Amino acid sequence: MLSDKTKDRLDKWLWQARFFKTRSRATTRVSEGHVRVNGEKVHKKATLVSPGDVLTFPQGRLIRVVRIVGLATRRGPAPEAQALYEDMTPPSDPVPDRVGARPTKKVRRDLDALHRDTE
């Protein structure tokens, strides 16, 4: 549910937009300086944000970049939360999870067969 207010607290907005599971986690991330508002690092959880502001913050392995589109009156369901922002996160390069992992048994058999053929 979108609100008529023009500004809201950063930690509260991040929680309502469902980027963090709890409001205290959002507060911790902001307090630790992991969130930027319009390119400026912020450390105060009560920093006011409004529609048009661009937020940059880490979420898991991603660096999220979102533009605030609206403010909420409550923490609603996911579709309602997704209407609060425009995702501007650049696409990430696919990185294999297991770099340098051992080959599977099938790959080893294929490699052995290839070596036998070249001998």
Residue 101 lies in a domain: no
Contact predicate 18/28, CB 8 Å: no
Structural domain range at position 75: 8-92
What is residue 56's three-state secondary structure?
A: strand
Read off the pLDDT of residues 74-99 as tens digits, 9 standing for 90 and up: 999 999 999 999 999 888 765 555 66
* Residue 87: per-residue pLDDT: 94
| Average pLDDT per 10 consecutive residues for the chain, totaling 119 residues | 80 96 95 95 95 94 93 93 93 62 85 80
Please indicate, yes or no, if residue 111 is contained in any of the structural domains: no
The reply to whether 75 falls in a domain is yes
Predicted local confidence at residue 115, as pLDDT: 83
pLDDT for the residue 42: 96
Could you give the number of structural domains in the chain? Answer: 1
Closest CA to 10 of 50, 52, 58, 46: 46
Q: CATH no. for residue 65?
A: 3.10.290.10
Q: pLDDT value at position 34?
A: 95
Give one DSSP letter per residue of 58-84, joined into a string.
Answer: EETTEEEEEEE---BSS---HHHHHTT
Residue 17 · residue 72 · CB < 8 Å: yes
